Structure 1
């Protein structure tokens, strides 16, 4: 039976499970924590907005275009996409299921390479990172035979 990887993630925590076939349940492969995503924007910034001399009169300042917290979440999504890429390139799974809140799901989808994205059979836009395994199996029963 083909192995299915299930990535259950949000911007600060991810759990990667494997399902080895019908009635096999879920096996936790890896847990990844990203504490930067829990920090406040002010704590992630190194300094206040940069000051510059305006071409007209007076002074101005520049705000960062992207909030630091959003950058931290994107970096975590890239790290998770790399995990899936490495698993695919090593033939460690035949298909994948992604479970993440809508905003983070968008980040994951944007960072997956083409061949890995094609292996994703199901996407659930929910945050089940704090859900115990038995309940998670119940939520995933339409996608896998647990």
Structure 2
């Protein structure tokens, strides 16, 4: 039986664990951090919004960027996690996948997953468990003995 991987993430931190079965303890595989997600918008984007003088007026129109800098960083981190999962799946390191992620980052991550990885996802929940200790994490994701979550 191939391992099950558990991904616990938010927009700045992703922890990946492995286990052979639901009753075995979690084994840390990797920790990915993305400190840019925690920076202030001014530190991420140095450009000011575009400006244009309006005809026949004294005011100025200001154009906001289509996507804010934080969202771009979240997308970049989601792509990094998805790439790591693709590589691990290609290497045969896991057979199934559980993902626990903060909302709305879960949407960014889900959008970046390849079809092959998406087919392996058994659980996809929007709850941020990224800062929970390993013992507490095992308790929270445990499957009861009757097999029903």
TM-score (norm. length: structure 1)? 0.90
d(CA) in 1 for partners of 2:75 and 2:103?
13
d(CA) in 2 for partners of 1:48 and 1:78?
26
Q: How many residues align?
A: 143
Structural RMSD (CA):
1.8
How far is 1:53 from its partner? 5.2
d(CA) in 1 for partners of 2:38 and 2:115?
29
SS at match of 2:93: coil
Q: 94-103 or 17-26: which moved more?
A: 17-26
Spell out, residue by residue over 1:61-103, the C-alpha distance to the aligned partner (whole angstroms, 9 max, x if none). Answer: 3211111011111110111011111111111100111010121
1:81 aligns with 2:82: yes
SS at match of 1:25: coil
How far is 1:25 from its partner? 0.6
Q: Unmatched 5+ residue regions in structure 1?
A: none
d(CA) in 2 for partners of 1:93 and 1:8?
15
Residue 123 of structure 1 corresponds to which residue in structure 2? 124
Would the alpha carbon gap of residues 134 and 49 (structure 1) be closer, same or farther in structure 2, given more than 3 Å must change? same
Residue 28 of structure 1 corresponds to which residue in structure 2? 28
How far is 1:46 from its partner? 1.5
d(CA) in 2 for partners of 1:76 and 1:15?
13
1:92 aligns with 2:93: yes
Residue 66 of structure 2 corresponds to which residue in structure 1? 65
d(CA) in 2 for partners of 1:121 and 1:64?
37
d(CA) in 2 for partners of 1:84 and 1:102?
20
Spell out, residue by residue over 1:12-42, the C-alpha distance to the aligned partner (whole angstroms, 9 max, x if none). Answer: 0000100122432101110011000001112
After superposing on structure 2, the runs of 4+ consecutive aligned residues of structure 1 that deviate more than 6 Å are none
Residue 136 of structure 1 corresponds to which residue in structure 2? 137
Q: Unmatched 5+ residue regions in structure 2?
A: none
